[in-house]
Amino acid sequence: MSKKVISFFTFGFLLIIIGAIGKILKWNQASVILATGLVFETLAILIMAWNKIKKNE
């Protein structure tokens, strides 16, 4: 995996953890943080899949 994929995955995971803690503590912006984390996770998965497809060609 490239450094870009690992950093997107790590940052997304961190945002998901912070968003989950925010939901427990009833923060107003917790849903936005959680959704942003999910976007970064999805982006990391798409980049990883794209790299695997490119290698198989």
Domain ranges, ordered by start, for the chain: 3-56
Looking at residue 3, its pLDDT comes to 77
Cα gap 26→47, rounded to integer Å: 33
Looking at residue 9, its pLDDT comes to 86
The structure's pTM equals 0.81
The two structure tokens encoding residue 34: 């959680």
pLDDT interval class at 1 (50, 70, 90): low
The two structure tokens encoding residue 54: 């490119």
Looking at residue 36, its pLDDT comes to 94
pLDDT digits (tens, 9 = 90+) for 11-52: 899 999 999 999 999 999 999 999 999 999 999 899 888 888
